[in-house]
């Protein structure tokens, strides 16, 4: 049981990172870990962590969309910029952007950050033909997305804290009984 608890906590730590870094599972991984713990130990004592996990998962879906939309609108971006940011995200993740000085595993991770910026700028430039507006819109989209990811990270951290606060006494009691 202790080993499973440690594995699930590790998965939740990856989920916290994933809530901030695009392309890595975030709140869904945390929620799945809570469900696995509940399936093994029973859901009776997991009402609060499970409810928090579900709410945070649903909120994170909305935050992704709303933060990017808010950043785009604040910067005056059009739909072209938003579509360009999405295309840039996909191309950056798949490693189709020009090779940066840092390659290997870091290439796609860096592409996740630069892809949306470059894509948004290109999309806006194609639509408006004004480089300054395109740059402003691209930066706005990326800033909104980063702020949304930070909020998701805080919510993910809160979910894991609630889980640990709720379950750690059970695990500690089981360790003491085993000794």
pLDDT digits (tens, 9 = 90+) for 127-160: 888 888 888 888 887 788 788 888 999 999 999 9
Full residue range of the structural domain in which residue 136 is found: 2-178
Structural domain count, the chain: 1
Distance CA 8, CA 163 (A): 11
Across residues 72-90, what is the average pLDDT? Answer: 79
CA angle, residues 155, 35, 175, in degrees to nearest 5: 95
pTM for this one?
Answer: 0.75
Distance CA 137, CA 131 (A): 10
Kindly report, residue by residue over 6-61, the tens digit of the pLDDT.
999 999 999 999 888 776 788 999 999 999 999 998 888 888 999 999 999 999 88
| Tokens at 22, concatenated | 């695009």
Across residues 80-109, what is the average pLDDT? Answer: 69
């Amino acid at each position: 049981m202790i080993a499973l608890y440690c594995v699930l906590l590790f998965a939740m730590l990856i989920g916290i990172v994933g809530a901030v870094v695009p392309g890595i599972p975030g709140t869904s991984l945390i929620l799945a870990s809570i469900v696995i713990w509940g399936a093994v130990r029973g859901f009776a004592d997991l009402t609060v962590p499970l409810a928090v996990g579900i709410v945070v998962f649903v909120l994170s879906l909305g935050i992704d969309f709303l933060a990017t939309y808010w950043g785009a609108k604040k910067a005056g971006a059009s739909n072209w910029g938003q579509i360009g940011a999405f295309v840039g995200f996909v191309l950056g993740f798949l490693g189709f952007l020009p090779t940066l000085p840092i390659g290997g595993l870091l290439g796609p991770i860096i592409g996740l950050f630069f892809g949306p910026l470059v894509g948004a700028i290109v999309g806006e430039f194609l639509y408006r033909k004004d480089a300054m507006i395109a740059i402003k819109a691209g930066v706005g989209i990326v800033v909104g997305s980063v702020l949304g990811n930070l909020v998701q990270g805080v919510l993910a951290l809160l979910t894991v804290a609630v889980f640990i606060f709720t379950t750690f006494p059970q695990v500690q009691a089981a360790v003491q009984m085993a000794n």
